[in-house]
Structure 1
């Protein structure tokens, strides 16, 4: 499934490239105002921090919410106390788009993450051109050379890579990059099964200076507390926010 999602995301980016060439996107990316320093915003504090996600659907859960106005939802997240906004821009299985990211960027003052299946420099440039401050890199989808190339490009453009892992081996690969913002996704992107305890088993392998992000399996304040007790500095939450009251749920999560 991960290979399919990545291949499709790359194919869609190639289609966009036919009408918006590499040089044009690169120019737009370089003309953008400086990205927000997400490492400063998400640094460890006395309270857990939340990256709130805008997600219409997923392969594992199907349709979640229509989200006709992603900018309005992002403003609700900001009001509820989120530290950053994640925008799923994959269109085939998640119902997102770069237009969603652009709308969110224009609506909030928080750092914005492009969450997609990123595998090419063109996709990274698209992210910056659309106003992203962070870009997701999924270690399981990339070989070491590509991972390094994309990581370095994200940093060169002034953005922050959120490097997602699913195993001890992937965490070690991520540490070798010098990554400062590292996530552990409880969802296996091959089987889509959840393992909420994976983060806790891997927490000791994070580099000492890394910000620890727990991803997936966050449906309640108890889930946030579980991750916080295991050492998470940040939790990334999508489904619980798009299917419930976003402000109420955020405030409950942040009270942990």
Structure 2
């Protein structure tokens, strides 16, 4: 059986490889001559968000048909029956069904994009009830995933979706948001993989510190999972150092890796 440290290092390296694949997909130019097709996966595989973060938006399950609507580098842009889209980074062993290519192509005409609204605007329900399901606010990026007449089907960060009826003056972010996100994701993945693989600093002297802005405390298991969020104005205990990361502990004994230590205040 693998030791815990070896498992964490293996998981961190797998996560780093996924981050690199995701970065490559976001940076790649869409395949202009791609022919959409239906496919099924041989085993459960994550569908990664087009926003460049390492948080899966869905899990593709065996025995279900999904629509490949595009290709970015080695990744497929896949769509589920509920309209959820994302990157399938590992397409090895998928089962293709090209029998309904024409129908698939008809579904694939819209290219999703990021946008922001100039003023607060309601996101209306898709059921035709004219009931707002959310309120879009300026300064926040939303994902347009489909067009319905003059309206956009928009999705917020919490995956709530609906119809934006008034699209006048919206600011399109296109791929710049995703590219910025994926750069941050890849950098964090590299830092985490390096920290997990590094030996603990043997002569480390513990100290108290505070963060200048909210920062995630990442799991030591290499999974790129936040175990807590460190907040400004609170003191935390640095109990170790792994490469450039601090091993930090909260007041309730939750501990993890603080990857970004810039600007911390030592007590």
Normalising by structure 2, what TM-score?
Answer: 0.23
Which structure's relative contact order is higher, taking Cα pairs within 8 Å and 6+ residues apart? 1
Larger radius of gyration: 2
Normalising by structure 1, what TM-score?
Answer: 0.24
Higher strand share: 2
